[in-house]
């Protein structure tokens, strides 16, 4: 092979390396921009919970599940089990910052809420927490997206997003799908 042909190939390889570096840099900058400006970040809560006593003590007992308003804070607590979410339906107000907290007593699950960026794993021994703002009203599907056993495909819940003026907590601060 002639020397100038080898030089041409080398030049092409260097050019391509620069291009790929630029592409990766652009994608990284876009991700950083989304994180810093639009506050779109992967859920990174690290909080442990005892899966053996999940339903007996602490915040994930049956009476505490679902949506609760505490001052200006709106939090929904959901337990993911094989093969159902408890509760099956939660109510959330539109255009307010809300917190979703998940725990599981059995195996690894995962959730996403359709049409939103809400997406997290639910791992035994840890509390998964997601902050978000729902902008569209309606019933949003929340399926389990991590294969958790034979009934995995039947495991889903509903996030009912209602207009802010229709979001009315009861005297105990709770809002349920049944009450609406």
The answer to whether 102 and 80 have CB atoms below 8 angstroms apart is yes
| Residue 27 in the binding site for another protein (CB under 8 A) | yes
139 binds another protein (CB under 8 A): no
Q: Are 135 and 84 in contact (CB under 8 A)?
A: no
Kindly state the tokens that stand for 36.
């810093």
- For the stretch 135-141, contacts whose Cβ atoms lie closer than 8 Å and that sit 24 or more positions apart, written own/partner, are 135/94, 135/95, 136/94, 136/161, 137/94, 137/161, 137/162, 137/163, 140/113, 140/114, 140/115, 140/116, 141/113, 141/114
| C-alpha distance from residue 154 to each of 47, 84, 88 (Å) | 28, 8, 12
- Residue 48 CB, shortest distance to another protein, in Å, is 20
Q: How far is the CB of 159 from another protein (least distance, A)?
A: 13
Question: Least separation, in Å, of the C-beta of 117 and another protein?
Answer: 4
Is the preceding omega at residue 87 within 30 degrees of 0, hence cis? Answer: yes
Indicate whether 42 belongs to the interface with another protein (CB under 8 A): yes
Nearer to another protein, 34 or 141 (CB): 34
Binding mask of the shown chain, residues 110 to 129, with x at each position contacting another protein by CB under 8 A:
-----xxxxx----------
Task: Kindly state whether residue 145 participates in binding another protein, applying the rule CB under 8 A.
Answer: no
Question: Would you say 41 or 153 has its CB closer to another protein?
Answer: 41
Residues 65-84 contacting another protein, CB under 8 A: none
Residues of the shown chain interacting with another protein in the complex, contacts defined by CB under 8 A: 1-2, 5, 8-9, 12, 16, 19-20, 23, 27, 30, 34, 38-44, 115-119, 130-133, 135
């Amino acid at each position: 092979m002639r020397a100038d042909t080898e030089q041409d190939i080398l030049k092409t390889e260097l050019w391509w390396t620069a291009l790929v570096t630029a592409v990766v840099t652009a994608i990284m900058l876009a991700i950083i921009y989304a994180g810093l400006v639009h506050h779109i970040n992967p859920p990174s809560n690290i909080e442990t919970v005892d899966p053996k006593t999940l339903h007996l003590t602490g915040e994930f007992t049956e009476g505490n599940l679902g949506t609760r308003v505490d001052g200006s804070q709106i939090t929904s607590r959901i337990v993911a089990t094989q093969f159902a979410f408890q509760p099956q339906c939660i109510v959330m107000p539109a255009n307010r910052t809300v917190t979703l907290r998940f725990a599981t007593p059995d195996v690894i699950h995962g959730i996403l809420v359709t049409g939103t960026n809400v997406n997290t794993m639910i791992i035994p021994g840890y509390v998964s927490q997601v902050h978000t703002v729902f902008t569209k009203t309606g019933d949003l599907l929340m399926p389990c997206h991590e294969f958790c056993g034979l009934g995995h495909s039947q495991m889903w819940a509903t996030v009912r997003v209602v207009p802010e003026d229709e979001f009315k907590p009861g005297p105990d601060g709770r809002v349920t799908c049944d009450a609406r």
